[in-house]
Amino acid sequence: LEQATPPNMIHIIETYKATISFTAPTAYRAMLKAMDEGADLSSLRVAVSAGETLPAPVFEEWTQKTGKPILDGIGATEMLHIFISNRFDDMKPASTGKPVGGYEARVVDDEMREVPRGATGRLAVRGPTGCRYMADDRQKEYVRDGWNLTGDTFTQDEDGFFHFAARSDDMIVSAGYNIAGPEVEAALLSHPDVAECAVIGAEDAERGQIVEAHVVLAQGVAPDALTTKRLQDHVKAMIAPYKYPRSVKFIAALPKTQTGKIQRFRLRTEKIN
């Protein structure tokens, strides 16, 4: 399909009677906004989310509006396979799911010791696929004690579900607090004024880093100081107050890959309006 852009996906599903939709969370959000009341998604069996973590507001809006399940999971190029996923009969909002058959996963500290449930740590995975050796200095730490360290920070809850916090090198450390950008993004996305957003850590002389939100506003919302304060207060009310974005930048569009994955590194290195 030459024009398989997110706003066109609803029409594509209707026209070709697609049974599985596979795209990124930002694309699902665009699809929801393009969906009218008469949309016919009866052919769709499941939506699969990939590329980055699926925020709870997108999960909830999709299931409520379409009546179709949406499954999130995680895989890695080095593993050649998805190794944690939600299932039709075993899913949870804002969760990456549980290990798929044949794989083990745990959340560990820097010494490879498993951390308590609910604590953040490094995701370690092993199974029938994975790395043994890569001739690349950047990958020296990828394999330890037979486990593959994916470079992601996760938690695991008491029910065994894994929850993505952030890429390990994307954790925001502000005044000694560890803050996961996706959690702040999910809080912002739950506000009706926000169409899309991405959160990064911005350098700050006093705090080391501060939470900086790049926000695409919903149509008709003014990019002014009142909107900034409204969004900051909303985040404070939704999650821990110290996690709110001290810097809010309004932009016309987020930088993305062709598959819809947000390029947060460009927000750090380029001036995007």
3-state secondary structure 14-44: HHHCCCEEEECHHHHHHHHHHCCCCCCCCCC
5-59: pLDDT as tens digits? 877 899 999 999 999 999 888 889 889 988 877 789 999 999 999 888 898 889 9
CATH domain 6-165 topology? Rossmann fold (3.40.50)
31: Cβ contacts below 8 Å, ≥ 6 apart: 6, 7, 9, 10
30: Cβ contacts below 8 Å, ≥ 6 apart: 6, 7
β-bridge partners, 148? 125, 143
Task: Please identify which residue in the block is written with the tokens 């449930």.
Answer: 117
3-state helix, strand, coil in the chain (%, to 5): 25, 30, 40
Model pTM score: 0.80
Cβ–Cβ under 8 Å, residues 84 and 156: no
Per-domain residue ranges of the chain: 6-165, 171-269
The rounded mean pLDDT for the chain is 91
Stretch 166-188: mean pLDDT: 89
CATH 3.30.300.30 fits 171-269, yes or no: yes
Q: Is 72 helix (H, G, I), strand (E, B) or coil?
A: strand
